[in-house]
């Protein structure tokens, strides 16, 4: 859905609360050449009690592994894990398209406590 004019169907606030979006800090980032589309493998620390989770993110156009460690990001932590090639992605790291349609990570504009939930 890269078309910004597409509007999703309405959901209730209770539906929104079912999606658990948390802030975590990237502790490892490496290229993922086995992925069908260019991606980066991430390990993200969400603090206690969630801990460190893995994610595959198609963010190679605007982000490089070398610059991601220490970056805070937002991710959905309550989707079931998903097998992506030889890698099990445990959380969905969130991003939005830039003016060229390339994914930019969503992140807080200053450091916040790990594991904080988006409301």
Whole-model pTM?
A: 0.91
pLDDT at position 11 is 93
Strands (E) in 1-119, as ranges, are 21-31, 40-45, 52-57, 72-76, 82-84, 87-89, 92-93, 95-97, 103-105
Q: pLDDT by residue (tens digit) across 51-73?
A: 999 999 999 999 999 999 999 99
Q: How confident is the model at residue 5 (pLDDT cuts 50, 70, 90)?
A: low
Q: Which CATH superfamily is domain 31-105 in?
A: Nucleic acid-binding proteins (2.40.50.140)
pLDDT at position 1 is 45
Average pLDDT in the 78-103 region?
96
Q: Give the closest residue to 57 by CA, choosing from 23, 21, 105.
A: 105
Q: pLDDT by residue (tens digit) across 24-36?
A: 999 999 999 999 9
């Amino acid at each position: 859905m890269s078309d910004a004019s597409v509007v999703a169907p309405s959901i209730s606030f209770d539906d929104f609360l079912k999606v658990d979006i948390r802030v975590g800090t990237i502790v490892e980032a490496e290229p993922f050449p086995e992925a069908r589309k260019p991606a980066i493998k991430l390990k993200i620390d969400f603090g206690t009690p969630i801990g460190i989770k893995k994610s595959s993110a198609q963010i190679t156009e605007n982000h490089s592994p070398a610059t991601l460690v220490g970056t805070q990001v937002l991710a959905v932590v309550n989707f079931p894990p998903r097998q992506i090639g030889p890698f099990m992605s445990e959380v969905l790291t969130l991003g939005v398209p830039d003016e060229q349609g390339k994914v930019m990570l969503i992140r807080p504009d200053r450091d916040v406590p790990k594991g904080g939930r988006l409301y």
